[in-house]
Structure 1
Amino acid sequence: MKRIVVTGTGLAVPGLDRPLDLFGDGSPAVGFDPATALKGKEMRGKDRASRLGLCAADAALRDAGLLADDGTYREPGEATAVVVSSNLGTLETACEFTDTVARETVTGLSPLGLPQTSSNVVAGWIAIRYGLRGPNLTVCNGATSGLDAVHWACHLILAGRCRRAVVVGVEPPPRPSESSSDRNRATSPPPWSWRAPPTRPDEAPARTRPSPPTPAAPTPRAPSPSPSPRSPVPVELRLATGHLDLTDRFGDCSGALGVLQCAAGADHVRTHGTGAVLAVAGGTAADDAAAALLLTTEHRN
């Protein structure tokens, strides 16, 4: 089976320096600081989600050795795709524009800010910054969005649409501020061997319903739930020695979750030199799908 190997990881989570820090407390003194990292010439005129995505993409491309000293992309841009997972990345901008229209009609809108209402704005800015002219798309389909983005990137490569793909998962907070920046997160994928695409059930796990009391019984029995044909899939990252639920520490994560899982898991495998990680997302009562992705290491002589 042909394997797709991604060779760089990047992270833009406040207080953390690399994906392996997702397992611990990190070091705020040396970790990502949005108060400084999200400012500067390259960040002007961009929404917060795009700035986070650019930081993560830059870290991943540098880790993969694909950037020159001056920050330019070394490889042919037309052979590199960009796939972004973000369910709520442009929500804040869209709400601001809606409020402006309600107060001032369309005459109060700024044409410079209008592109930021597009769900594909993060992928667009990353492509512009590095001259990536391959396929460009955004996945925003709920809990499985992050793993789906990695899935699509793999298939773009397998289909010959591109030779490389940059995958980014990003979700800023609804009301961004430096004081709440610990909820910001963005990441790009790490090196791993692709075994199979994520599992996508056609329907959510069946919900159990209580059985009605038996009419013939003298005393009606208490309702008892019928067994579910499938157990819900927990939103967590399973390791060879245990499991880690990233949502316990970072909250829902939404579209960034699956990419964060891949980054953390691959950094774990790369650091320890062996093992495998199963990343799973979705499958809860509130979701209508589930996804899973197996990350392994490959040794070559």
Structure 2
Amino acid sequence: MPSITPPCVATIVARKGSGLLDRSRIAEAFALLPDAAEPTWLAPAEAADIAFTPGDETMSAVKSRLEHWGRSHEVDVFVQPQATRRKGLLLADMDSTLIGQECIDELADFAGLKAHVSAITERAMRGEIAFEPALRERVGLLAGLPVSIVATVLAERITLTPGARMLVQTMRAHGAYCALVSGGFTLFTGPVAERLGFDENRGNVLLIKDGTLTGQVADPILGREAKLHALIELRDRLGLTADATMAVGDGANDLAMLDEAGFGVAFHAKPAVAAAAHGRIDHGDLSALLYAQGYTAADIVS
């Protein structure tokens, strides 16, 4: 993450309808910040900005103190340089980020193997095992499933994460480019990206023969390094600086992408991912990423 220089801004975001953000709570956050300006509401009772100047204190100390306060009050806190907070490129993971499920686990349920596959998925997302062999192992267990099951999963099992469509539509309305980049499968990334309004989507390709899954995935595997390369490629293609990019994800295969982005955010993420990210959403939904960029409630495309 680039070094943070003054002036800076702290954004405090509460879950919609939680009632956890009021003037007294904002006053508590204000007191924790050096040389702070008067708070500005981005959305009543939901999100507020406090501009400040770090002075002699290190930004890591300010950020750590405010994030600790936020976790104790169940609100999300983002600390950034004010000048570069608005982003021109968004890269987003799909499974357990833009949607509430892991697609491969839902497919495995139709083979009677959901518990087994989910356990492998969880270990891979925590970074306990390598992503690529874990993906090949899980895909192998799907051999023989009719590809028509995908439509059933999309229709009956897949739910969009609250705030996801707002995030994509609002950023695009203000000129940003949005890419869905997933270690999951194009059979899902295509429909999900279309529903949310992404400019493009990338994922792994499940091999199919005679209408059934072969249990194989096409090379090369889109994993941690491919997500990183996608960010760099799109950033360069669009002529953006690193500061102008944002990435969001929840698993270990998102870490390189999150680190390379100007602002990499862990979304209800595995512990190692949340600890390494530039920012984290532990309580709210994806609309928090709009407030983190300084959008107000009036700016949001609902």
TM-score (norm 2): 0.24
* Larger strand proportion of the pair: 2
* Larger helix proportion of the pair: 2
